[in-house]
Amino acid sequence: MALISDHPTAALSFRDAAWPAETAGNPRFATRWLTHEDAAGPQRNAWRELAANASEPNPFYEDHLLLPALQHLSGKSDIRLLAIEDRLEPGRLIAFLPVKVSHTCRGLPLPTATAWRSIHTFLATPLIRKGCEWDGMRAIVRSLRQAGIKLIRMPHMAADGPVAEALSVLTSTNSLAVATSRSFERALLRSGHDGESYIAESISKKKRKEYARQSRRLADLGEVTFETADMRDEAAVEGIALEFLELELASWKGRAGTAIAQRPAEARFFFDACRAAAAAGKLFPLTMRVDGAPVATILNFGGSGSDGTGQFSFKIAHDERYARYSPGVLLELELTRRLLDTPGIAFTDSCANPDHPMIDHLWRERRTMQDVTITTSKFVPSAAVHWAAAVDRTEFSAKRSLRALVARIKRSA
């Protein structure tokens, strides 16, 4: 059975069958459907070259994070990697997006492609070559339409960058219906100031004095150091990963059963991702120690891009026995100084939830995120995307209410 067809009602069967290497009907750009094995092998260099020249960095869709996620966190889902190649320059990719395809969307019988995210994917903006944003987004939509897809869902996509702008122009000029399920902001660090000046402007004098007092009290317990291990040393990489897992396991996450170490597949992903990122020079840990013992650790992953390197805060954990000294805040303050004082780092994305109680008070800048659904053709009823968005919003609201209820119960216990 043909998996990709120009017929608008083509049946989709994405499992246990060979995909064609190319979708017809796009004169300038070739559509390559890659498997995990393709991406890890013959297409890896082209993928990396695209990431290095991407309009917007996204390490979660680079090989050092996506390949471990596909191996350990995709479950039974059949994920395919959509790569768009420029026929004028064979081997040169202009766009890349992992997608998960389903036959329905929120109860509607419409084949739907969703930009794939694992539980540890905090950004789902496609990798698109700088200067090719319009061509890249158009080729993605066209390729999915030719595969029989009716709707495209793009959760956790940056809303304020050139890729989102290209998508907006594409939908309006082609009469494609679009609906936003959710829009939110999260903390971002991007400033021309040095670290100390930024902290002085961002944090009140009263708060700075309090953090300085906590830092002195912590120093009374032993020598406080901030360390970045040598990521060229495999043993050091594994040591940092283990320290983080142990700190997280001993925290409230361990008591709640949500620590990475308590979930074997996530633990394997975490170790493989740390190794791969370190080998690529894109793992950036910072650990605060007291007399050599880890008190707090934060891990950042690097993302390539045409306009400089971006960093993305992945996880932070601290020893709760030191909670009175605010070790997480002290570590973030030191990280802020280092990030702003290091040339070549264009920005750092907190990857935090909206209204985060800690990082939102330290970093002033914000990044707007959105979850959007679009039609691949003007002939797909616009009501479909608005229905899907409405169901999404109801689900988001229910989850927020549940979290608030759990929080109240914990406070009253």
* pLDDT higher than 70, residue 354: yes
pTM of the predicted model as reported, rounded to 2 decimal places:
0.90
Assign 284 to helix, strand or coil: strand
Structure confidence at residue 26 (pLDDT)? 61
- Residue 232 Ramachandran class (φ > 0 left, ψ -120 to 50 alpha, else beta): alpha
Supply the pLDDT for residue 413. 56
Whole-number pLDDT of residue 6? 31
What gap in Å lies between CA 66 and CA 17, rounded to an integer? Answer: 22
* pLDDT value of position 404: 73
pLDDT digits (tens, 9 = 90+) for 15-39: 333 334 444 456 789 999 998 888 8
In one letter, which amino acid is 93? L
Instruction: Give the pLDDT confidence of 149-179 residue by residue, as tens digits.
Output: 999 999 999 999 999 999 999 999 999 999 9
CA-to-CA distance for 325 and 315, rounded, in angstroms?
Answer: 20
Decide which of 148 and 403 is more confident: 148
pLDDT single digits (tens) 242-268: 999 999 999 989 998 999 999 999 999
Give the pLDDT score at 1: 23
Predicted local distance difference test score (pLDDT) of residue 211: 97
Q: At 411, is the pLDDT very low, low, confident or very high (cuts 50, 70, 90)? A: low
Instruction: Give the three-state DSSP class for 365.
Output: strand
Residue 147 has pLDDT above 80, yes or no: yes
**pLDDT one-digit tens code per residue, 69-102:** 999 999 878 798 999 999 999 889 999 999 999 9
Q: Which two tokens stand for residue 316?
A: 């932070």
pLDDT class for 407, splitting at 50, 70, 90?
low
Cα distance between residue 18 and residue 4, in whole Å: 11
Section 200-223 average pLDDT: 96
Q: 113-139, pLDDT tens digit by residue?
A: 999 999 999 999 999 999 999 999 999
The answer on pLDDT for 359 being more than 60 is yes
User: Alpha-carbon distance 69 to 71, whole Å?
Assistant: 5
Q: What is the pLDDT of residue 13?
A: 39
Predicted pLDDT at 188: 97
The pLDDT > 70 percentage for the chain reads 92
**C-alpha distances in angstroms, 61 versus 38, 126, 271, 273, 297?**
15, 8, 17, 12, 24
**Distance (Å, whole) CA 390 – CA 317:** 36
d(CA 217, CA 199): 20
Spatial separation of the C-alpha atoms in residues 229 and 232, rounded to whole Å = 9
- The residues facing 34 across adjacent strands are 81
Residue 342 bridge partners (DSSP): none
Interatomic CA distance for residues 204 and 6, integer angstroms:
60
* CA–CA separation, 83 and 87 (whole Å): 12
Query: Mean pLDDT for the chain?
Result: 90
Our separate counts of H helices and E strands in the chain read 12, 13
Q: How confident is the model at residue 305 (pLDDT cuts 50, 70, 90)?
A: confident
List, in sequence order, the alpha helices (H) in 158-302: 162-173, 195-202, 205-219, 234-249, 252-256, 264-279
Q: What is the pLDDT of residue 119?
A: 95
Least confident of 4-8, 31-35, 147-151, 385-389: 4-8
Return all residues near 81 (Cβ < 8 A) that are at least 6 apart.
33, 34, 35, 36, 38, 39, 96, 97, 98, 99
